[in-house]
Amino acid sequence: MTTLTTIQNSLRGEHALPLRPAEQVMKLERLGALHQSRLSFMRSIVRRMMRERWQISFRRFDLDDQGYGTAIYEIKAAHGLFNFVIFSNYLSDEARNDRVVATQWDLTMALVDGEVDDLYLEKLRQNVPKQEAGRVDSRVFVLSRANRSARNFNYVVDQLAQGEQPDVQKIAEVGYLYRTTAVYGSGKLGMADWEKVQTRYPDFARPFAAEMFVCLMLRNFSLTQAEHIARHRTPDTFQPMRDDIKRYFGIGNSTGLGMAPYLVNHPHLINQWVEMRELALARVRVLGQIDSRIRERFDQLLQRCRRHTEQTVTEDSWQSDNNQQVLDDIQALCHQTEAGINSWNKLIEWSENHCSLQGQELLVSVILELYPELVDDLEDYQAAEEFMDLDPLMPLEQLKVQIETCYGWALDIDFSAPGAKDIFWYRSEEKMEPRLGESAADQGQEKQMALGVGYAVRRCYDQLCEYIEQNPNHTTARFMVACPKRRGIVRRIQSMCRCLYGDIQANLLDRDILPMHLLRAKLAFFGVSKFDPKSKLWVRNTMFQGAPLLEDIGKPFNDDWFMPLAPEQDSGSDNLSANR
């Protein structure tokens, strides 16, 4: 059985696996080119749910003919009993707002430990619909809310009520009935914190497992609710939705700048996510045998990626250009492999010279898809203990060498260049969201968020060099006494130099910074697809599209919903995988 020690040993030493270097992997533009993979958190929670055959059913379904009311799912997981509570309320189109400052939503919901009796349900009813304005206790794991898709929900209900199936092409344009506007966990608003979840609830002990499960449950409820409304509207003509079309519906997500600081503020966790992905790739490069079955499967997945990209709809010209480049890269990869594939190393090296960053990272995701036996066990090692240790006894010369070795990327940035420090990050008191300010025009730099790691390293290094000239034999403790404001960045430097990855190698204060790369990187680890930027500051995307339905639990499961494709409009297929 693989252990964390075994994994750590495989990363270091004379016979270490060939991991890609941090200076390649942790560039912001490459992180912003990542795609979903077998190690994405959505894939992981679905595998667990399907393989352990969780029992999920309605314990309460009190919805009126219009779909308003209360519903409770009971979840019997492998190690515990949970309830998923949903409150559905009328919301006018004028009041529907995806921003975090909204106060009303179509749906609000909570994932709860144990049974929910009438007394506790009433407590939830008084607080869950209020979201941030309410309070819950530590029985609650996740709190969330969602709004209907104005383009899809009523259309789907109308189609089903008339005895017709939704048009698949229309679904491809907006692949969901609801989109989440927030999914809260890890101790916020009184909920169970991560330490409690990780140590006491093994069903959700992986990062973001509970949050992703809530999104999956929301997706299932959205389909049930739409059918419920359509059935009551015209019971004589109503027809349920085909299962293959149901599976093509995901859940929508709107993500803005609020997600961006997470990648900077949790470097140990990001290091662990990247390490496991890179270790999976290294394993495949060393141990992945290539035979006729693998070659055929590889070609099938490339063609699926091509069709999936073609079916991705966006009005953003930048994203459209990226999608077209991915299509060109796929075509080039197909030409390159026409004579056969003999070495993943050679193909990866070829892609690094001939494909865009998105094409290169898509190839990585496809290769990982071919070898579940080399990849899937790493999903158990994506958590990390997050702490920053200060070593006060470290000689200053050693600290200086650490900076030069681990943070050479920061020292290479010319912060005196025009525009290098034009941006600062702050949290809006009015909107409660991160914002970008312009140093020359906006006030409030004294309250900026500490996201300029590269600049902080540069300032620390310069001050350290001056100090060493006068005090070459001093330790870090003496430097901290003389320069107490550098304590935070020194702690980070000393801690992160023990990691292979973790710090994003970019100047986040540059006026040309593209926050979209930060958003996409985290969303790719979640497992989302079909990015549709609405500006450089926020993006809509789709979660769980192609995933199995709750009614598929207990049926054969091949975990084959990577880059899902639209089903045929006239197909009667109810196969679990519409991708083969």
- For the chain, the C-alpha Rg in angstroms (whole number) is 25
Per-residue confidence of the chain (580 residues) as pLDDT tens digits? Answer: 455 555 555 555 545 678 999 999 999 999 999 999 999 999 999 999 999 999 999 999 999 999 999 999 999 999 999 999 999 999 888 878 776 667 899 999 999 999 999 999 999 999 999 998 999 999 999 999 999 998 899 999 999 999 999 999 999 888 999 999 889 998 888 999 999 999 999 999 999 999 999 999 999 999 999 999 999 999 999 999 999 999 999 999 888 777 788 899 999 999 999 999 999 999 999 999 999 999 999 999 999 999 999 999 888 888 899 999 999 999 999 999 998 899 999 999 999 999 999 999 999 999 999 999 999 999 999 999 888 999 999 999 999 999 999 999 999 999 999 999 998 887 776 556 777 888 776 776 777 888 899 999 999 999 999 999 999 999 999 999 999 999 999 999 999 999 999 899 999 999 998 888 998 999 999 999 888 887 777 788 899 999 999 999 999 999 999 999 999 887 555 544 445 4
Longest dimension (CA), the chain: 89
Instruction: Please give the model's pTM, rounded to 2 decimal places.
Output: 0.92
Contacts for 485 with CB less than 8 Å, ≥ 6 apart = none
Cα separation, 456 vs 459, whole angstroms: 5
Nearest to 546 by CA among 570, 569, 530, 525: 530
Q: Report yes or no: 371 and 290 within 8 Å, Cβ to Cβ.
A: no
Contact indicator for 302, 331 with CB cutoff of 8 Å: no
3-state secondary structure of 14: coil
